[in-house]
Amino acid sequence: MSPVAVVTGAGRGQGATEAAMLRSRGWDVVTTDVDGEVDVIADVCDAGAWASLVETVLERHGGLDGLVNNAAVHHIRPLLEEQTDDVERLFRINTLGPLMGIQAVVPAMKGGGGGSIVNVSSAAGARGFPGHTAYGATKWALRGISRTAAVELGPLGIRVNAVLPGPIDTPMLPVPEDQRGRRFGHLPLGRAGTPSEVAEVVCFLLSDAASYVTGAEIAVDGGLAA
C-alpha cells in the first residue's frame, strides 16, 4: 500500500514540484490550494476546510502518512511601511495555517502508527533581510512551531522537520535568466535554486530514509546560511 501525503500550496511552483516528485516516488498525494489544478480547493486558515480535507484523504486512501505545509504568501516592504492587515494576512497563511494543519492531521497519523510533517520555512526565518519584517517573522515563528511539535509529537511516532529555502526560482520569486548570475553572485553556489532542489529534501524528510530525523532544520539556500 502506497504512503499518502497532503501537500498545501500545490497549485504551482514549489508545491506543485514537491507533489509531482512524491508521486514519482510511489506516494499517493492529495494536493490543495486556494486555486489552480489541485485535488481539493481549500484555505489553510480555515479549520473546517482542514477537517474536510483530512476526511477526504481518509475516505479516498484509508490513511495519512505525510504533510507538507508549503502554502505561503510573501511581500517585501520596509518595516515602517508595514500595514497591520497585510501583516495579519501573512501570519494567518504562513504560520497559523501550518499550525492548524498539524492539529488536523495528528489524529489520523497517530491512528496509523506515526507519520512525517515537513514545514517549509525560509532563509528569511533564520536571518534578517531588508523589507522582510512580516514575512521573516512568520517564518521564524514556523521554525518554533516545528521544533515544539517535534518534541510533543515524537512519542506518537510523528516526525516534524523544517526546510529553509533560500532564493528559489518560482512564481513567488521569478528570476529573469539574464539576472541570475548578477543577482545571486554573492551566494557560494552563485545562482538561484530550483523547486526540484527543495523537493528532493522534502521527499527525503518524508521518507523512511529520515526515520531518525526530527526537529531538524535543513537549509536549501546555495550556501546563504554559511
The 10s digit of each residue's pLDDT in 73-128 is 999 999 999 999 999 999 999 999 999 999 999 999 999 999 999 999 999 999 99
**Residue 110, all three cell numbers:** 497517530
Grid cell 497591520 — which residue? Answer: 84
Could you give the domains of the chain?
A: 4-220 (3.40.50.720)
Provide the Cα torsion 178, 179, 181, 185; round to 10°.
Answer: 170
Task: Let me know: does 118 contact 199? Beta carbons within 8 Å.
Answer: no
The 10s digit of each residue's pLDDT in 133-170 is 999 999 999 999 999 999 999 999 999 999 999 999 88
pLDDT > 70 fraction of the chain, expressed in percent and rounded:
96
Indicate which residue of 28, 135, 170, 220 is catalytic.
Answer: 135
Say which range, 15-24, 36-45, 68-77, 176-185, has the weakest mean pLDDT.
176-185
Task: Let me know: does 205 contact 163? Beta carbons within 8 Å.
Answer: yes
Q: Is 212 a catalytic residue?
A: no
What's the pTM? Answer: 0.95
Task: Let me know: does 122 contact 135? Beta carbons within 8 Å.
Answer: yes
